[in-house]
Structure 1
Amino acid sequence: MITVEKLSKHFGEVNAVDGISFEVVEHENLILLGTSGCGKTTTLKMINRLIEPSSGMITIDGKNIHDQSPELLRRGIGYVLQNNGLFPHYTVAENIAIVPQLLKWDSKRIEKRIAELIDKLHLSPDQLKVYPNELSGGQQQRVGLARALVADPPVLLMDEPFGALDNITRSKIHAEFKALDELKRKTIIMVTHDVQEAFELGDRICLMDKGKIIQIGTPAELLFKPANDFVSSFLKEQRLQLEFRAIRIKDIWNLLPHTKEITEVVSLSANMDIWSGLEKFKYHQADHLNITHGKETRAIGFEQLITAFYKYQSSRAHE
């Protein structure tokens, strides 16, 4: 869906982005991760031409982004900012309706689409009439996401979208983000400097430093097959929790006991990561939970899940 080839951006003597190339497949969520100044936000802004590249090429769905005006390009790309970027003197409804109005949608179509989105994003119809400063930070971020999604663009760019939220609100929005069907149909590039967020939300992670791509791969690939010492060092402090995020229950399925499922017990999918699975035990206050992988369901306890995880971790360390 998105191809970036030999992309560079120079500000005077500074190489903010230095000849990077990558691809993002349709419906994938690629995370641009790195410390401040590594070039990730500059890269994102070049994709919707908020910043023009010094050299290189970007195509979206096979079309060079420079073959159309920046204004038309941006109407087909959703864009979400850290501080939501809402217009303070527009109501919530007016903020969400900006792009559909530019696309000359009729009012009934706009109203129907807004109503559909606010329901999915857990906002109240009463909040459509208020102004952004009357909402909480989490609610403002949901409005910003609704505005980016309202015209149903195939591509969504997100620049530190949850960075201004407190940890509790951010955790809740992360869960909503992963569950939202609207986002499963999008090709997403998200910028963050939060390693945990990258591992929780990304299908693949593009780790950058000093304008260059150091490694691009799945969370598990970065953890267990680091390209160099920089990657290992970057992840070192949070490694254990990142492994809980990167490893899914299906990855350790063969290490779990072959127990029969228990009726009247909550069932989980083996596609869930280990961390989320362990949190389910706490939430449901259960000794065992049913876990389904393909056609098989097993009743697994907290300790059994932890034990299988450490066995898997040990086997990867010796590969």
Structure 2
Amino acid sequence: MIKVEHLVKTFGTTKAVDDISFEVNAGETLALLGTSGCGKTTTLKVLNRLIEPDSGTISINGKNIQQQSPEALRRGIGYVLQNNGLFPHYTVAENIAIVPALLKWDKAKTDKRVNELLEKLHLSKDYFNAYPNQLSGGQQQRIGLARALAADPPLLLMDEPFGALDNVTRTKIHHEFKDLDELKRKTIIIVTHDVQEAFELADRIALMDKGKIVQIGSPADLLFNPANDFVKDFLKEQHLQLELKTIKLIDVWEYLPESGKKTNDSQIASTAGIWEALDSYKFYPRESINILNLKNKEVRSVTFNQLMSAYSHYKNSQPHE
């Protein structure tokens, strides 16, 4: 859906974006990950022409973005800011309805869409006429997301969208983000400096440094096949936790024991990560958990030690560790 070729943007003597190229498939979530000043936000803003590049080309759905006006381009792109960017003198409904108003939707259609998004984002309709300063930080961020989704754009750009939230609120919104049907149909590019966030939300990650993409690939690619020492060092401190979140139960299925007493407890799907399964032992104290293989509907009941043994066997079987 998006094709970026040889993109360059210089500020003074600094190359903020230094000849980068990448593609994003329709329906994919790509995270631009890196420390402050690596060029990730500049890259994002070039995509909707908030910043004009020095050179390079960007195509969205096969069309060069320079061949359409910035205003027309942006109406087809949702944009979510770190500080939510809500207008304080507009009500929640008015904030969400900004793009529909530009598109000249009638009031009934607009109100229906606003109420639909409030419900999907777990916000009471009582907030319809509220103002941003009457909302919590998490609620404001949900309204910012609703505004970006209002006209149902196929592409969503998100610039550190959860960076201003506390850890508990951020974790909760991450779960909502992954479960929201509206987002499963979108192509999303998210800028973040949070490694855990990138690994949790993205299908692929572009790790950037000094205006260049050092490596682009799936979370597993970066973990198990790092391109160089920079990638290794960037992930080193959180490597174990990232592994446990990235490796799915289905990956270790062949190493799980087939025997084991099935409990009456609920089942955890094989698409979940090992980290999520470990949480089940911690938060719901039990000797074993039931894992449901979504492919063949088989259920295996495993203890903590059996799960960790399967994880160890899987790791040892990987050729590129």
Say yes or no: TM over 0.5. yes
CA distance in 2, matches of 1:301, 1:179: 28
For the aligned residue pairs, the C-alpha RMSD in angstroms reads 1.4
CA distance in 1, matches of 2:281, 2:267: 11
Q: Which residue of the partner structure matches residue 96 of structure 1?
A: 96
CA separation of 1:154/1:261 partners in 2, compared to 1, >3 Å: closer, same or farther? farther
For 2:74, give the aligned amino acid: R
Residues 265 and 288, structure 1, Cα contact 8 Å, conserved in 2 = no
Q: Which residue of the partner structure matches residue 220 of structure 1?
A: 220
CA distance in 2, matches of 1:310, 1:133: 50
Q: Which residue of the partner structure matches residue 229 of structure 1?
A: 229
SS at match of 1:169: helix
Q: Which residue of the partner structure matches residue 297 of structure 1?
A: 299
CA distance in 2, matches of 1:288, 1:265: 9
Residues 269 and 292, structure 1, Cα contact 8 Å, conserved in 2 = yes
Matches within 5 A, 1:159-170: 159-170=159-170
For 1:264, give the aligned amino acid: N
For 2:71, give the aligned amino acid: E
Write out per-residue CA displacement over residues 155-188 of structure 1, whole angstroms, 9 at most, x where no aligned residue.
0000000000000000100111111111100000
Identity level (%):
66
CA distance in 2, matches of 1:183, 1:103: 21
CA separation of 1:290/1:261 partners in 2, compared to 1, >3 Å: closer, same or farther? farther
Question: TM-score, normalised on structure 1?
Answer: 0.96
SS at match of 2:227: coil
CA drift of 1:61 comes to 1.0
| Structure 1 residue 309 corresponds to structure 2 residue 311 | yes
CA distance in 2, matches of 1:318, 1:226: 9
CA distance in 2, matches of 1:238, 1:317: 21
CA distance in 2, matches of 1:4, 1:284: 47
CA separation of 1:282/1:119 partners in 2, compared to 1, >3 Å: closer, same or farther? farther
Q: Which residue of the partner structure matches residue 148 of structure 2?
A: 148
CA drift of 1:267 comes to 1.6
Q: Which residue of the partner structure matches residue 66 of structure 2?
A: 66
CA separation of 1:224/1:135 partners in 2, compared to 1, >3 Å: closer, same or farther? same
CA distance in 1, matches of 2:94, 2:171: 28
For 2:130, give the aligned amino acid: V
Q: Which runs of 5+ in 2 are unaligned?
A: none
CA drift of 1:152 comes to 0.5
Q: Which residue of the partner structure matches residue 119 of structure 2?
A: 119
Deviates more, 1:223-232 or 1:301-310: 301-310
CA drift of 1:292 comes to 2.0
CA distance in 2, matches of 1:116, 1:317: 48
Write out per-residue CA displacement over residues 275-299 of structure 1, whole angstroms, 9 at most, x where no aligned residue.
1222233344443332222112222
Q: Which runs of 4+ in 1 moved over 4 A?
A: none
Question: TM-score, normalised on structure 2?
Answer: 0.96
CA drift of 1:300 comes to 2.5
Residues 224 and 320, structure 2, Cα contact 8 Å, conserved in 1 = no
CA separation of 1:151/1:261 partners in 2, compared to 1, >3 Å: closer, same or farther? farther
Residues 261 and 297, structure 1, Cα contact 8 Å, conserved in 2 = no
CA separation of 1:2/1:301 partners in 2, compared to 1, >3 Å: closer, same or farther? same
CA drift of 1:67 comes to 1.2
Residues 260 and 297, structure 1, Cα contact 8 Å, conserved in 2 = no
CA separation of 1:318/1:32 partners in 2, compared to 1, >3 Å: closer, same or farther? closer
Aligned residues: 319
Write out per-residue CA displacement over residues 42-65 of structure 1, whole angstroms, 9 at most, x where no aligned residue.
000000000001100111111111
CA drift of 1:13 comes to 1.2
Residues 225 and 320, structure 2, Cα contact 8 Å, conserved in 1 = no
Q: Which residue of the partner structure matches residue 45 of structure 2?
A: 45
Q: Which runs of 5+ in 1 are unaligned?
A: none
For 2:267, give the aligned amino acid: S
Matches within 5 A, 1:274-285: 274-285=274-285
SS at match of 1:249: coil
CA drift of 1:111 comes to 1.0
CA separation of 1:265/1:99 partners in 2, compared to 1, >3 Å: closer, same or farther? same
Q: Which residue of the partner structure matches residue 77 of structure 1?
A: 77
For 1:206, give the aligned amino acid: A
CA drift of 1:318 comes to 6.6
CA drift of 1:75 comes to 0.7
CA separation of 1:12/1:318 partners in 2, compared to 1, >3 Å: closer, same or farther? closer
CA separation of 1:93/1:298 partners in 2, compared to 1, >3 Å: closer, same or farther? same
CA distance in 2, matches of 1:28, 1:10: 28
CA separation of 1:208/1:114 partners in 2, compared to 1, >3 Å: closer, same or farther? same
CA drift of 1:302 comes to 2.7
